[in-house]
Amino acid sequence: MGRGRTGGAARLAPRAQQQRPPATPFAAVTQPTADALPQRRPGLYRRFYNWVLHWAYTPYSQPALALMSFAESSFFPIPPDVLLMPMCLGDRTRALRFALLCSVASVLGGMFGYWLGMQFWSAGLDQFCYRYVPGFSPEKFAKIQSLYREWDWVVVFIAGFSPIPYKLFTIAGGVFAIHFPMFVLASAISRSARFFLVAALLRIWGDSIRSFIDKHLGWLSIAFCVLLVAGFYLVKVVLH
């Protein structure tokens, strides 16, 4: 990934910052992917975002992708797509390998978030998350609790695939003691579906599909999640 790729990084970063995911059925807990902190210190956040992005063009891109995917599932504000997309474009033959790495690390990070919520929520983690983790607030946490009561592990599946901040649901899953095997299974399916979809599109169509992903992946994932919820609701009605 030589010097010619740096221009792609510069073009990719502003688009990611400006793109806001559309409204969802879970709008009360949805946050923009690249706008987690900008209203307070935009310059600092932009520098941090670009610093994360630059790892895609270094020899350490794969460890950086794994670490970022792990961290984003529990506390990190920037989604791993920021690294995954330029890495897939830089080496399309290994795009699916990058997606696998991203998926495994993300699920492990989700398990870590679950453990954090289960062990430390009442010991001060709640106040730390409300204060320092983008997207966390008492109001959103109450909304997540009601969603878990209604849908249980299905919520994890939706959060893992959609623009909804996944980390809110991994930590909350531990707090509310969601059935752990189903939590892991839902995380594995949804995170893999998300990252492999992005990687497959970039592997097949390359840079020409990137703007489409930037603009429409949020809508596509939300449409999929709406159909999924409708399907579960229909099954629930039929069974009762």
pLDDT of 32 > 60? The answer is: no
Lowest mean pLDDT: which of 8-22, 136-150, 173-187, 201-215?
8-22
What span, in angstroms and rounded, lies between the C-alpha atoms of 77 and 96? 24
pLDDT of residue 154: 85
Q: Regarding predicted confidence, which is higher, 149 or 34? A: 149
Question: For residue 170, what are its two tokens?
Answer: 């991994």
pLDDT of residue 131: 87
Lowest mean pLDDT: which of 3-7, 104-108, 149-153?
3-7
| pLDDT tens figures, 117-135 | 999 999 999 999 888 877 7
What span, in angstroms and rounded, lies between the C-alpha atoms of 73 and 203? 25
pLDDT of 175 > 70? The answer is: yes
pLDDT of 4 > 90? The answer is: no
52-75 burial string, b = 16+ CB within 10 Å, else e? bbbbbbeeebbebbbbbbbbbbbb
pLDDT of residue 172: 93
Domain boundaries, the chain: 3-239
Lowest mean pLDDT: which of 7-11, 43-47, 224-228, 234-238?
7-11
What span, in angstroms and rounded, lies between the C-alpha atoms of 133 and 187? 20
103-119 burial string, b = 16+ CB within 10 Å, else e? bbbbbbbbbbbbbbbbe
pLDDT of 31 > 50? The answer is: no
Count of CB atoms within 10 A of residue 102's CB?
Answer: 30
| pLDDT tens figures, 78-90 | 889 889 999 999 9
